[in-house]
């Protein structure tokens, strides 16, 4: 509208006290420098500044009541989405016809409409001259934080628990041979040759001979010395024999040579005779009933009959000075002449000794026979439990690394619930332990089940917590509180719990119906996944209960209609067969009769879409990290300005006043961890997204970390150690760790069933480790091909171990490869990085005008979308929950749903 035809309103300004949403500053009064100073003085976090009519419009983050006469600028109010600098009559508004989001400024008696486009946004940080400031690195004046505490493993009972002293040196030799360790040299009593040599050295000699003798004593052993040593080691001295070096595992070349020596040389005859004497003496001790002495000479055996792969030993074990159960078993037994017959006879003697010791009440010694000599660890644990040695049984079970469920069970019986819960959390053995306890100790099983549910609830997994504790009738009030908390969290998980609440507590039908209808009556695209989750969960409850689910059927009918509406609008991709099943479950004959044929959903568009983000489209804050949530919400890290939970259109739902540069989101979307650098360490804070609370946690060193966690354990790395940190503890502590992984840990990725991390060793090679979860068990360890990595630029790792890295010598991809034509055709120097998602990945490159991000579909083999960010700021990409977020330090934020092809630009407000 031209100035000649612009309306001249009767009121030119607001008067009195009004709800101000924006202030306009005229640069001509008095000058632009003073105007900028006033804008900065009125600026608050979340405010936006726009160039408007030669001046500056300051859009406040929230309305505030202000006296117009005392306002620092010209006040604007908000009416029907339009900013007004003066009250307008209906006829005046009709003549102006302002669009929502625009501003109407009355100046010199004339009203004009000004659109508030993103290109008009002003970066006020450019007004601040910081050239005279110098950034100085800071260091903490206090002591560095202590290292993360570790749940120390408990070894099997030491020898002192059995009332005996340290083992004999001969027993140490036998243990070293069985465990494959270097065999220590035993002190030997001087023989005849030693005494003669000592006598010769003690004879007085002439001065000219002393130097020669000293030089001779220091020479390398010659043939005579080696022969004398061989004679002594073959039994010539009549003393205890030192053990030879440990033989190889399995019948290799050395084993065959030893067999030949034993069968075809005089040495074999001599050793065979000594073996036979040793075994005969051992049997005599058992026959005489001298169990204490017999057990000192006893030979550890493996379970079952000896295998053909058993190794042959040329040494003889010496007697034990003490009886004890060792924490770790060394491997296959050392066999002596006689083969399987001697092996079986020894096993029978050990069984007889065990029975006799039990009859005599010598419980610890009897358990020693089971665990140490017969290698029957589970039987030994059960035996100790039966005789009331509960602490000893628990220590033995954990020290011998028996099944995690059995270990947890024994600690529960030993009344050490704290350790039982810690071990169950680190190994995921709650279910197995509860099942083992219910057979014999139902009261203890009930206590452990309640603790299990409490851990799940504290981790945010309210659905599983309810399922776990539901068999305990006395805990109904507690499960109801958990359901209420989960429903309050909203999103997809909250919708599922709402359906579970209806079946668990039918008396709450009125409350559930009100919440369910509010969810189902909405038609927004962001709420479609939650409506679908509620419908599917309610259908499962109806199918499971069948009878007594009339309230569920009453809500299932509007729920199915909501799903049909969302599918028709393109918000959901539900198959025709699934829709027919849901309609059938409703039992609504009218709905079945009126249901039209459900058309097949069209194939998604494969032509790539192009999106350009200009430099002026950013928001008021620098975005350091962002994660998508269900229902269209997002959690955004704003650095020292804190973190914000925002809606799909950028409105702030909650502000968390803790420093946040990186975010770790819980898989249940009800909590998160915020990280902020503080020199060599990071400050960690915990965010509660349900109740909108934040609390500082600790300062600790974190070199690499997983970007998601289950609310219970968080996997991170410090130097060359990877650990699972207890995210529920007041102070950080590790419930599991792998120390000294052989290099610097570069990346950690975790999923529901798998943990992967990548290291850079001293030879500049990349090594990939993969563990199975929940009980961390090493599945694979591989040095990736390609040799040394020269100047690593970027590395991306998925939870299944797929890895891609960029280095000076180019790009390397390990895992399911994509078609080469999908990758950007550009020099490696232009390729900034690749970020791996699930069925998608993003390629980042430099362009003459800025940065480019290509979103590619691995399954279909197509380019899905291209994004061009003007400027030189680096772009970050985050995959989570099927969505993709792209953001940068200018405050530009884009949320992409690759499945439906939706792209939404978000400006934080």
CA distances, 867 to each of 270, 602, 761, 846, 855 (Å):
83, 25, 36, 12, 8
CA distances from 707 to 4, 627, 714, 799 (A): 60, 10, 9, 10
| The pLDDT of residue 212 | 40
Q: Environment class of residue 51 by beta-carbon count within 10 Å: exposed (0-12), middle (13-18) or buried (19+)?
A: middle
Starting from the edge strand earliest in sequence, which strands make up the sheet with 777-783, in order? 744-750, 754-760, 766-772, 777-783
Extract the tokens encoding 263.
């069968």
Residues in the chain predicted with pLDDT less than 70, given as ranges, are 1-6, 138, 140, 158-279, 282, 297, 303-342, 546-549, 594-607, 616, 816-830, 860-861
* Cα→Cα distances 78→23, 87, 336, Å: 12, 10, 96
Q: Look up tokens 């961890």; give the residue.
A: 673
Q: Cα dihedral sign for 615, 621, 627, 630?
A: negative
Assign 269 to helix, strand or coil: helix
Q: From CA 895, how far away is CA 426, in angstroms rounded?
A: 35
Q: Are strands 810-814 and 803-807 parallel, antiparallel or unpaired?
A: antiparallel
Distances (CA, A) of 507 to 501, 502, 504, 588, 595: 10, 8, 9, 24, 32
Token reading at 752: 């529901």
The tokens 């009800």 sit on which residue? 670
> Residue 666: phi, psi to the nearest 5?
-70, 145
Compute φ and ψ for 407, nearest 5 degrees. Answer: -60, -45
pLDDT attached to residue 701: 93
Sign of CA dihedral 526, 532, 534, 535: positive
pTM, rounded to two decimals: 0.75
Beta-bridge partners for 880: 883
Residue 458, classed as helix, strand or coil, is helix
Residue 526 structure tokens: 């962001």
Query: How many C-beta atoms lie closer than 10 Å to residue 704's C-beta?
Result: 21
Measured distance between the N- and C-terminal CA atoms of the chain, rounded to whole angstroms: 30
Tell me the three state secondary structure of residue 587: coil
Under DSSP, the state recorded for 193 is H
Q: How far apart are CA 878 and CA 159, in angstroms?
A: 54
> What's residue 287's pLDDT?
75
DSSP state of 30: S
**How many angstroms separate the CA atoms of 284 and 281, rounded?**
5
For residues 845 and 828, the answer to whether their CB atoms sit within 8 Å is: no
Strands 693-700 and 681-688: antiparallel
Helices 491-504 and 476-488, packing angle to 10 deg: 150
Determine contact, residues 247/258, Cβ cutoff 8 Å.
yes
The residues pairing with 704 across neighbouring beta strands, listed in sequence order, are 717
The per-residue pLDDT for 621 is 86
Residue 449 φ/ψ region, left for φ over 0, alpha for ψ in the -120 to 50 degree band, beta for the rest: alpha
């Amino acid at each position: 509208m031209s100035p000649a035809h612009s309306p001249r309103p009767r009121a030119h300004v607001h008067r009195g006290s009004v709800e101000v949403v924006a202030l306009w500053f005229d640069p001509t009064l008095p000058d632009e420098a003073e105007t900028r100073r006033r804008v900065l003085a009125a600026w608050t976090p979340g405010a936006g500044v726009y160039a408007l009519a030669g001046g500056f419009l300051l859009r406040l983050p929230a309305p505030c009541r202000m006296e117009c006469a005392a306002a620092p600028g010209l006040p604007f109010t908000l009416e029907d989405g339009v900013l007004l600098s003066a009250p307008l009559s209906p006829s005046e508004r009709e003549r102006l016809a302002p669009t929502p989001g625009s501003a109407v400024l009355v100046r010199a008696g004339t009203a004009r409409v000004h659109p508030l486009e993103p290109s008009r946004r002003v970066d006020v940080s450019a007004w601040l001259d910081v050239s005279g400031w110098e950034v100085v690195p800071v260091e903490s004046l206090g002591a560095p934080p202590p290292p993360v505490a570790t749940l120390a493993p408990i070894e099997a009972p030491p020898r002192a628990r059995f009332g005996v002293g340290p083992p004999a040196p001969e027993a140490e030799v036998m243990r070293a041979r069985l465990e494959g360790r270097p065999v220590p040299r035993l002190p030997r009593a001087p023989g005849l040759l030693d005494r003669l040599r000592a006598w010769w050295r003690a004879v007085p000699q002439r001065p000219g001979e002393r130097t020669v003798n000293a030089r001779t004593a220091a020479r390398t052993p010659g043939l005579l010395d080696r022969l004398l040593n061989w004679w002594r080691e073959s039994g010539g001295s009549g003393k205890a024999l030192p053990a030879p070096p440990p033989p190889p595992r399995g019948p290799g070349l050395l084993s065959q040579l030893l067999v030949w020596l034993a069968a075809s040389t005089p040495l074999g005859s001599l050793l065979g005779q000594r073996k036979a004497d040793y075994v005969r003496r051992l049997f005599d001790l058992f026959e005489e009933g001298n169990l204490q002495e017999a057990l000192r000479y006893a030979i550890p055996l493996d379970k079952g009959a000896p295998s053909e792969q058993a190794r042959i030993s040329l040494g003889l074990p010496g007697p034990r000075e003490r009886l004890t159960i060792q924490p770790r078993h060394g491997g296959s037994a050392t066999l002596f002449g006689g083969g399987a017959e001697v092996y079986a006879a020894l096993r029978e003697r050990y069984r007889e000794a065990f029975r006799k010791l039990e009859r005599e009440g010598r419980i610890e010694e009897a358990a020693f026979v089971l665990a140490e000599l017969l290698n029957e660890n589970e039987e030994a644990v059960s035996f100790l439990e039966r005789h009331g040695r509960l602490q000893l049984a628990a220590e033995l079970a954990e020290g011998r690394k028996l099944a995690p469920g059995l270990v947890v069970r024994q600690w529960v019986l030993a009344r050490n619930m704290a350790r039982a819960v810690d071990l169950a959390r680190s190994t995921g053995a709650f279910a197995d332990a509860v099942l083992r306890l219910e057979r014999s100790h139902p009261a203890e099983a009930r206590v452990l089940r309640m603790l299990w549910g409490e851990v799940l609830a504290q981790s945010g997994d309210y659905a599983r917590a309810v399922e776990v504790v539901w068999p305990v009738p006395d805990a109904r009030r507690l499960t109801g509180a958990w359901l209420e908390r989960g429903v309050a969290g909203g999103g997809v998980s909250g919708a599922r719990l709402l359906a579970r609440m209806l079946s668990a507590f039918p008396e709450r039908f009125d409350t559930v119906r009100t919440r369910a209808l509010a969810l189902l009556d909405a038609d927004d695209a962001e709420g479609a996944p939650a409506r679908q989750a509620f419908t599917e969960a309610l259908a499962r409850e109806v199918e499971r209960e069948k009878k007594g689910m009339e309230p569920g059927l009453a809500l299932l009918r509007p729920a199915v209609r909501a799903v049909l509406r969302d599918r028709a609008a393109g918000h959901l991709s539900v198959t025709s067969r699934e829709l027919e099943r849901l309609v059938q479950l409703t039992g609504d004959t009218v709905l079945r009769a009126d249901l039209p044929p459900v058309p097949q959903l069209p194939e998604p568009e494969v032509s790539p879409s192009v999106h350009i983000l200009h430099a002026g489209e950013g928001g008021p804050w620098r975005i350091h990290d962002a994660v998508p949530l269900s229902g269209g919400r997002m959690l955004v890290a704003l650095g020292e300005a804190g973190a914000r939970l925002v809606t799909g259109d950028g409105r702030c739902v909650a502000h968390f006043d803790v420093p946040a540069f990186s975010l770790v989101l819980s898989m249940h979307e009800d909590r998160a961890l915020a990280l902020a650098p503080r020199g060599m360490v990071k400050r960690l804070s915990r965010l509660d997204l349900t109740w909108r609370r934040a609390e500082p946690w600790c300062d600790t060193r974190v070199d690499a970390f997983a970007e998601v966690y289950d609310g219970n354990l968080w996997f991170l790395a410090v130097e060359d150690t990877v650990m699972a940190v207890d995210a529920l503890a007041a102070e950080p502590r590790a419930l599991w760790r792998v120390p000294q992984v052989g290099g610097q840990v570069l990346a950690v990725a975790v999923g529901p069933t798998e943990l992967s991390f990548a290291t850079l060793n001293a030879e500049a090679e990349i090594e990939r480790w993969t563990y199975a979860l929940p009980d961390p068990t090493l599945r694979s360890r591989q040095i990736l091909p390609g040799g040394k990595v020269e100047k690593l630029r970027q590395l991306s790792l998925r939870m299944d171990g797929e890895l891609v890295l960029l280095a000076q010598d180019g790009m390397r991809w390990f895992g399911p490869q994509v078609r080469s034509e999908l990758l950007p055709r550009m020099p490696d120097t232009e390729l900034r990085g690749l970020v791996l998602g699930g069925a998608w990945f993003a390629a980042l490159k430099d362009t003459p005008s800025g940065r480019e991000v290509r979103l590619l579909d691995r399954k279909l083999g197509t380019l899905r979308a291209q994004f061009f960010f003007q400027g030189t700021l680096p772009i970050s990409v985050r995959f989570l929950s099927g969505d993709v977020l792209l953001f940068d330090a200018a405050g530009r934020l884009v949320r992409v749903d690759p499945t439906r092809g939706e792209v939404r630009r978000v400006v934080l407000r």
